Structure 1
Amino acid sequence: MSSLLQRSRWLFEPALAVVFFVFWAIDLVGRHQLGPGMLRNEVPFWGALLLLAVAIGVSHLQPILAMAIGTAILLGQLLFPQAIFEEPLAYLGYAFVILVVAAEVHGRMRVGALVFAIGSGLSAAGLLAWWLGVGRGDAAARAMFFVLCASAAAIAWLIGTLIGVWLRKRNSELELERATVELRAAETEAFVSGERERIAQDVHDIMAHSLSVILAQADGARLLAEERPAAVAPSLATIASTARSSLTEVRVLIETLVGSPDGPEHPGMADLDELVARLGGAGLTVTLERFGERGDLTAAQELAVYRIVQEGLTNALKHAGPGAAARLALDERDDGVSLSLASRPGVARGPAPQNASGRGLIGMRERARLAGGWLDAGPDDDVPGGFLVTAYIPAAGRVEATA
């Protein structure tokens, strides 16, 4: 309903103009008949009345045009006295024009509207005093009549100005409210998009790691099935354990969506030994070196370190081939954690391909960035075919101090 009223707002002034013209035409038609031989005297009157109705009709959409028409009517009545409204109340149409124009214009045009208002009031008073003899013979009464007409016009201008200020303030508030709603919707969409990306990255990290281990173990079991049947059982056990672990991690990730606000526990720095052992059982020789003591990392930062190491070791297992080896060095200090993960292939090969557009490397860099640190990954210049990942995650207090 409110939207319909806003869309049809522009019809109000034209409709009022029609009502104004029809009302005065019916009231004055007896005194201003358009009969044969009377057109020369009556056309100016009907033309002035019609133009005043037009000024009312366009006052909202074209306030400057409305003022121009109103001024032209007064000048025309001065030149053609037959056009003067002998019914003083007909000049109330000017009051409506002044009110609407004052509400629509702003800035310096308000001064112009005030000049038009006072000028219209004084002109109408002058025309009535001249043509109808209002206050004739009584200078005080005539002066009072001029003052009253000018004051009425000024009051109409003041009311219109106040209405315009109120309407603009209301429209600004509505625009602000609409912008706030749109901003909240955009923030919600961005949050949802970020959560989707985070979930996709977690699923990628979990499944890429587990499937790489399962694939390595399955290939090993297939190759050793005939020569060393006894080695098949441990490989199958590793496959089952890895699949069960990845299934648990995915279930925990899904429970995050409907769980408590604190969310479930995620793997952290303390789980790196288990991760290294799991990758070692899958055929990747991993050397883990730790320096210093554990820094003050948040749970999210520890998860970032865990996922970075997991992705790096998984990539080494997938791309470095049989007999691959990796060296993971963690330097844990009070100001944060530095890690270096260098992998080398099992057999000599050319430079490792640098897939900077893959989800794995992008996810590693993004995790490090969100944790307040940085990550760099690329071919290892010291080892042919090797790959080097270096990263730094600052301690929680250090991140807050630099924020």
Structure 2
Amino acid sequence: MDTIPDDLRTWVPRLAAPVAAAVFVLLWTIAEAGRGDLVENVVVFGLFGLAVGLAVWMPWTSIGLTVAIPALQLAGWVQPPTDTTWPTYLAIAFVAFFAAFARSVAVRLVALAAAGLASGLAAIAMAVPTLARPYVWSSWVGGGQGTKTDVITLAASLFGAAAAAWAVGIFLSSVLRVRRIGQVLERTETRFHETDFELRLAHDRARISRDVHDALAHSLAVVVSQAQGALALSATRPEVVEQALRTIADVGRTSLVDVRHLVERIQQDADDATPRETLADLDRLATTMRDVGMTVTLRHLGDAAELLPSQELAVFRIVQESLTNALKHSGSSSTVDVALDWRGPGLALLVTSSGDDPLVASRRGTGRGTGIASMTERARLAGGWLTAELGDDGVFVVTAFLPTPEPIGLLQSWTEQPA
């Protein structure tokens, strides 16, 4: 695994250029020490060193210096090259190498073009004699192939060295960029997995909260209702107490089984292995609430269509929560009508409840309880929607709609028919 810090990769070329410049100036100063015109030569060494040192930090300035130095030598403003100092033109290759690390494509391309121009000017400064400097390349090497040929050869050699250095710089900078991109992608993927885990955890918490609420809220409401009724009638009708205790025991056992199934589902993470309620369980649910004293009517309008198992569970939980809310907010003498209308493109569910003997505070308060939020979320996850509101006449209305799978299958069959 790559363990080099990303910041280190960024700073390596930034630090290498000034270090290379300092070494360049120092070595050439030592090499020319004791020879004539040392001060003038050190000025040239310093200018080339400055160009190399700024190649990464200020590439445009560095490129300009690379071209300006041989031009100044041709103009006679700085010390021209000699038979011992002409290799200083290799600084052109160093500048091209470090400029290749620039992020800007324009800088990299201009650096290569400037290296060609600087190589040509340097070749002229080395090979073309003047009155001020009659000794040039041909006299340094003891012959030569003619001024024109020497200029072309020297320019091609210097530019070839600069182009090779530039290509190496492009390759190394590309490798560093690819590694940096890889690290960024790796960090992004890590953050993505962390975020995905957090979202899954939040989803699981919400699901567990809904399941716990569905498993306990209904049963506890029944238990509270029966206990209050038994307490109120214990003196005048003792036989009611026995029936209430039986109901409490039955509801408690059912709730215990539901909680055990919920715990097993959480531990095993296998929802499909646990039996789920279906529409067939609505009659049992209605009977349980009638035993409490509520008047519950369950009606099916139209021919029932097939729903997905998750949708049937959602319908059961919505009806269960609606009955629980009716018991809590309207009392055990409340009247509830549950209508399942199959005559449309899906299941339209309408639950109305009314009563005036609440077990808890009135639902006219502000905010939406956990039960309504749970019903709304279950309807949404089942592909539908749900609304719940209290009318001016005191009737609480829950309306939900869940689409059936048949229209999707019918549409698919239409698309598969030959034209």
Q: TM-score, normalised by structure 2?
A: 0.82
> What residue identity is the alignment partner of 1:310?
Q
- Whether the 8 Å contact between 2:17 and 2:54 is mirrored in structure 1 is no
Deviations 1:325-358 (A, max 9, x none): 111111236843221100011469xx96275532
> What residue identity is the alignment partner of 1:7?
D
- What is the Cα deviation at residue 202 of structure 1? 1.6
Aligned match of 1:359: 370
2:49 aligns with one of 40, 46, 53: 53
Deviations 1:253-302 (A, max 9, x none): 22222326434222121211111122222232211112334322111111
- What is the Cα deviation at residue 306 of structure 1? 1.0
- Whether the 8 Å contact between 2:230 and 2:244 is mirrored in structure 1 is yes
Q: Which moved more, 1:181-190 or 1:335-344?
A: 181-190
1:201-280 matched pairs, under 5 angstroms: 201-259=210-268, 261=270, 262-280=272-290
Q: Indicate how the Cα distance of structure 1 residues 16 and 33 shifts in structure 2: closer, same or farther if over 3 A, else same.
A: farther
Q: Indicate how the Cα distance of structure 1 residues 189 and 260 shifts in structure 2: closer, same or farther if over 3 A, else same.
A: closer
- What is the Cα deviation at residue 397 of structure 1? 4.5
Aligned match of 1:198: 207
Aligned match of 1:282: 292
> What residue identity is the alignment partner of 1:82?
Q
Aligned match of 1:82: 79
Write the distance in 1 (CA, Å) between the matches of 2:81 and 2:382: 82
- Whether the 8 Å contact between 2:340 and 2:347 is mirrored in structure 1 is yes
Write the distance in 1 (CA, Å) between the matches of 2:280 and 2:407: 21
> What residue identity is the alignment partner of 2:42?
W
- What is the Cα deviation at residue 154 of structure 1? 2.8
Write the distance in 2 (CA, Å) between the matches of 1:14 and 1:292: 81
Write the distance in 1 (CA, Å) between the matches of 2:109 and 2:27: 36
Write the distance in 1 (CA, Å) between the matches of 2:366 and 2:322: 13
Write the distance in 1 (CA, Å) between the matches of 2:316 and 2:333: 24
Q: Which moved more, 1:301-310 or 1:92-101?
A: 92-101
Write the distance in 1 (CA, Å) between the matches of 2:20 and 2:175: 27
> What residue identity is the alignment partner of 1:218?
A
Q: Does 1:32 align with 2:33?
A: yes
- What is the Cα deviation at residue 141 of structure 1? 3.5
1:134 aligns with one of 137, 144, 148: 137
- Whether the 8 Å contact between 2:24 and 2:49 is mirrored in structure 1 is no
RMSD of aligned residue pairs (Cα, Å): 3.1
- Whether the 8 Å contact between 2:80 and 2:125 is mirrored in structure 1 is no
Aligned match of 1:64: 60
Structure 2 unaligned blocks of 5 or more: 139-143, 413-419
- Whether the 8 Å contact between 2:126 and 2:137 is mirrored in structure 1 is yes
1:122 aligns with one of 120, 123, 128: 120
Aligned match of 2:156: 147
Q: Indicate how the Cα distance of structure 1 residues 5 and 397 shifts in structure 2: closer, same or farther if over 3 A, else same.
A: same
Write the distance in 2 (CA, Å) between the matches of 1:275 and 1:390: 19
Q: Percent identity?
A: 34
Q: Indicate how the Cα distance of structure 1 residues 230 and 59 shifts in structure 2: closer, same or farther if over 3 A, else same.
A: same
Q: Which moved more, 1:163-172 or 1:277-286?
A: 163-172
Write the distance in 2 (CA, Å) between the matches of 1:32 and 1:54: 20
- What is the Cα deviation at residue 223 of structure 1? 0.8
Aligned match of 1:6: 6
Deviations 1:181-213 (A, max 9, x none): 322332222122112111111212222211111
Give secondary structure in 2 for the equivalent of 1:330.
strand
Deviations 1:104-153 (A, max 9, x none): 24333333222222122223323333566224562323322222222332
Q: Indicate how the Cα distance of structure 1 residues 14 and 123 shifts in structure 2: closer, same or farther if over 3 A, else same.
A: farther
> What residue identity is the alignment partner of 2:52?
I
Structure 1 unaligned blocks of 5 or more: none
- What is the Cα deviation at residue 310 of structure 1? 1.0
Aligned match of 1:94: 92
- Whether the 8 Å contact between 2:336 and 2:353 is mirrored in structure 1 is yes
> What residue identity is the alignment partner of 1:366?
E
- Whether the 8 Å contact between 2:233 and 2:241 is mirrored in structure 1 is yes
Aligned match of 2:190: 181
Write the distance in 1 (CA, Å) between the matches of 2:253 and 2:238: 23
- Whether the 8 Å contact between 2:123 and 2:155 is mirrored in structure 1 is yes
